[in-house]
Amino acid sequence: MIQGTRRRKGERPRVEIPGRYLLLVVTVLCIALIAITYNTNVVTSVLNTTANFIVVPFQTGISRIGNWLVDRHELTTNIRELQEENAELKEENEKLTAENSDYQQAKSELQELRDLYSLDGTYADFEKTAARVIAKDTGSWYHSFVIDKGTNDGLAVDMNVLAGTGLVGRITQVGPDWAQVETIIDDDSNVSCEEESSKLSMIVSGSLSSYADGTIPFERLQDPSGLVEVGDRIVTSNISDKYLSGILVGYVSTIQKDPNNLTKSGTITPAVDFSHLGTVLVVTTLKQDVTEETRGSSTP
């Protein structure tokens, strides 16, 4: 007795496909796909598109990360190399700076020695010895300083000191291996001078405040004929009791009449740069000795 399958009211009939037919359909579909894949690139294109959509962005990300890591490594390497090069260049620059400083100092000393040699030739009649400045008073200028020679080298008080192209000052104190020099720009200095050509006398006084402008004052010039002019050479006078005569002191820079209309005063520019003194010449002949020799030679 065959039992029927009761359907519920309103239920659609169920379609059942036998398994052998389903297997046949799948087999045919597979064969068709194989044939299509072999003869065309439809499936390959679909797979490539899918792969490109999924794999390529991943590969791009990996590539970017790899490139970033390589760039960071190269950057770190370059920074390290630059730091090493910078350290080497800095060391080389310091070495060159030191060498240049030594060169400039040697050049300055050579020029100073040349000036002293020339100065020695200018005053060849005087016996001289060179000395180095080893200390100075406070301030911007060498208005008073100490040299490295003294009585052991034959130096004495009142010996004249030269540098540059003319007169620096004179020794005021002396020890066994040192001597103190008072310069013509010092406030306590007074030098009897004269204009080189006319021989008209004047007094040149030291003044640190005036030397701030590069000059020192002179006064008591009696020149009614106006023989002394700006630019004239001023030298030490023979009537000076401390300084040998004929030593260049400086050049007239300004000149004017005094209120009494009898004398003139003004300023001179010293022949020596008192901002830079390193080596000086000390005249070992005293003015007193020259005066005595002159008197002795003039005695019948």
Tell me the pLDDT tens digit for each residue of 70-110: 777 778 888 888 888 888 888 888 888 887 877 776 666 67
Taking the complete model, does pTM exceed 0.75, yes or no? Answer: no
Mean pLDDT of the 223-235 span: 96
Query: What is the CA 64 to chain-centroid distance, rounded?
Result: 49
Mean pLDDT of the 144-150 span: 96
Mean pLDDT of the 189-209 span: 96
> What per-residue confidence (pLDDT) applies to 119?
86
Contact (CB, 8 A) for 172 and 157: yes
Angle at 184 between CA 118 and CA 167, to 5 degrees: 15
Contact (CB, 8 A) for 284 and 128: yes
Q: Which of 65-79, 95-109, 214-228, 256-270 shows the lowest per-residue confidence on average (mean pLDDT)?
A: 95-109
pLDDT for 117 beyond 90: no
Mean pLDDT of the 166-193 span: 96
Give 283's pLDDT tier (boundaries 50, 70, 90).
very high
> What per-residue confidence (pLDDT) applies to 120?
86
pLDDT for 206 beyond 80: yes
C-alpha distances in Å from residue 144, one per residue of 13, 131, 135, 170: 133, 15, 9, 10
> What per-residue confidence (pLDDT) applies to 12?
63
Question: CA–CA separation, 122 vs 199, rounded Å?
Answer: 20
Question: CA–CA separation, 165 vs 150, rounded Å?
Answer: 23
Q: Which helix (H) or strand (E) holds 46?
A: helix 42-122
> What per-residue confidence (pLDDT) applies to 66?
74
Question: Under the phi-then-psi rule, with left for phi > 0, alpha for psi from -120 to 50, and beta for the rest, what region is 2?
Answer: beta
Angle at 282 between CA 280 and CA 284, to 5 degrees: 165
pLDDT for 295 beyond 50: yes
> What per-residue confidence (pLDDT) applies to 32?
74
Question: CA–CA separation, 91 vs 87, rounded Å?
Answer: 6
Could you tell me which residue, 102 or 27, shows the higher pLDDT? 27
The answer to whether the Cα torsion of 220, 222, 224, 225 is positive or negative is: negative
Single-letter amino acid code for the residue at 149:
K
C-alpha distances in Å from residue 103, one per residue of 91, 97, 113, 212, 236: 18, 10, 15, 30, 37
Query: What is the CA 171 to chain-centroid distance, rounded?
Result: 35
pLDDT for 42 beyond 60: no
> What per-residue confidence (pLDDT) applies to 63?
73
